[in-house]
Amino acid sequence: MINQTIRILSIFCLIILNSSCKEEKLVEEILRPVKYSEVSFLGGDKARIFSGTAKTEKIINLSFRNTGIITLLDMKLGQQVKKGQLLAKLDNVQSRLNYESAIESKNSAESQMNTSKLNLNRIRTLYEKGSSSLSDYEAAKNSYRTAVASFESSKRSVAIQQEQIRYGYLYAPEDGAIAAVNSEVDENVSPGQTIGVLNAGSAIEIALGIPESIINAVKKDMGVKVTFTAIDDTTFRGIVSEVAPALDQNTSTYPVRITIVDSDERIKSGMAANVNFEFVDEDISKRELIIPASGVGEDANGRFVFLIEGNDNSYYVKKQPIEIGDLTPDGFEVTSGLQAGQKIATAGLQTLLNGQKVKLN
């Protein structure tokens, strides 16, 4: 009976010990999650995205250099045109009348010049024979010079009026596509009035504004990445082609132009674009390590962080003394104690213990 009782008590103790061990193992497997951050360089690689608008590299506003009523308009949206192609013309009534008047004035001036020349020859002959005075001879020469000047002026007037007639014809100045048509046949237009817009050139540019805080980091020929909201899953290469040296007062930004390197027919003028700038500080010797302010603790021995070491199967924290520099908008500069790429805990430092096992959150 006593032996049986002892046997039962032994089995009971073994059950209790086994349960206790399982509970301890269960407690050990509960790892505390910690937020973390990687140590990086201040002023290292940073990406900034700005919005802009696509347009062809050359946009030409088409207009006449004369006034009149449009009698021909060969322009349609999207129409491809060649350099020198006739796009529109005016009635040119007033210019033709002025041209005809200039022709008549030239003919009259030519007749007067010829008459003055004959009179000069006659007076010269009489003067040489002593039958005419010197004053009559000088007067005849002056009259002829005046007639010649009048004739030359009338010829220039004819050329000008002939040019005015040419201004009534509008030709395509470059190869391209018609982007806008602003007038109709029988419409009365004035010089300089835009009747259409021509997109010339094959390259696409992006116009955008850059704030003064980073404009000095934007350089000509700098590479960028461009995406369009209307074109899914495609990234285009671009380069900075122009950087304005002065602020645009209307937008309080510096105008910048990006030229798309990869040509694509899907890119249309006016499309919204996102331009990704990647700024890199190439002078590594001047770069400082940076860590979040929330990852820095302090005790009687000075500043410290909790390094996270280990691998995917097991992580633990290690208390690491550090020396810090200035506080920046991105965190504290680290002068010693850390290296780039190390992981540090950024929350709950007061409750962490040196060597404590954790899991990454």
Q: What is the pLDDT of residues 44-74, one digit of tens each?
A: 556 788 999 998 878 899 999 988 999 999 9
Mean pLDDT of 312-327: 88
Task: Say what percent of the chain tops pLDDT 70.
Answer: 88
What are the residue ranges of helices labelled H in 199-244? none
Q: What percent of the chain has pLDDT over 90?
A: 46
Cβ–Cβ contacts within 10 Å for residue 202, how many? 11
pLDDT for 129 equals: 87
**What is the rounded CA–CA span in Å between residue 262 and residue 239?**
10
Question: What digits encode the pLDDT tens for the residues 229-277?
Answer: 888 888 999 999 999 999 998 888 999 999 999 878 888 888 899 999 9
Per-residue H/E/C for 129-183: CCCCCHHHHHHHHHHHHHHHHHHHHHHHHHHHHHHHHHCCEEECCCCEEEEEECC
Interval 201-221 mean pLDDT: 87
pLDDT computed for residue 83 by the predictor: 92
Q: What does pLDDT average to over the chain? A: 85
Domain 32-43+285-360: give its CATH code. 2.40.420.20
Element housing 308 (H / E): strand 302-311
- What is the reported pLDDT for 345? 92
Question: Which pLDDT score, from 0 to 100, does residue 188 have?
Answer: 93
| Residue from 325, 359, 340, 333 nearest 38 by CA | 340
| Angstrom distance (rounded) from CA 267 to CA 55 | 9
Is residue 146's pLDDT more than 90? yes
- Boundaries of every domain in the chain: 32-43+285-360, 48-58+201-281, 93-167
Architecture of the structural domain at 48-58+201-281: Beta Barrel (2.40)
Instruction: Give the pLDDT confidence score for residue 22 in this predicted structure.
Output: 46
Q: Kindly write down the DSSP assignment for every residue of 69-85, as one continuous string.
A: EEEEE---TT-EE-TT-
Q: b/e map of 332-361 (b: 16 or more CB within 10 Å)?
A: bbbeebbeeebbbbbeebeebeeebebeee
What pLDDT, on a 0 to 100 scale, did the predictor assign at position 26? 44
Domains 48-58+201-281 and 93-167 are alike in CATH topology = no
Please name the residue that has the structure tokens 């014809």: 169
pLDDT of residue 287: 63
- Give the model's pLDDT for residue 23: 47
Written as six digits, the tokens of 233 are 């899953």
pTM (whole model) above 0.95: no
Better-predicted residue by pLDDT, 132 or 29: 132
The tens digit of pLDDT for each residue in 107-139 reads: 999 999 999 999 999 999 998 888 889 999 999
CB 53 within 8 A of CB 272: yes
Check pLDDT > 90 for residue 39. Answer: no
Compute the distance between CA of residue 195 and CA of residue 180 in angstroms, rounded to an integer.
8
Task: Give the C-alpha separation, 152 to 144, whole Å.
Answer: 12
Topology of domain 93-167, CATH: Helix Hairpins (1.10.287)
Q: What pLDDT is recorded for position 13?
A: 54
- 8 A C-beta contact, residue 220 and residue 242: yes
In the chain, the amino acid numbered 38 is E
Bridging pattern class, strands 331-336 and 288-291: antiparallel
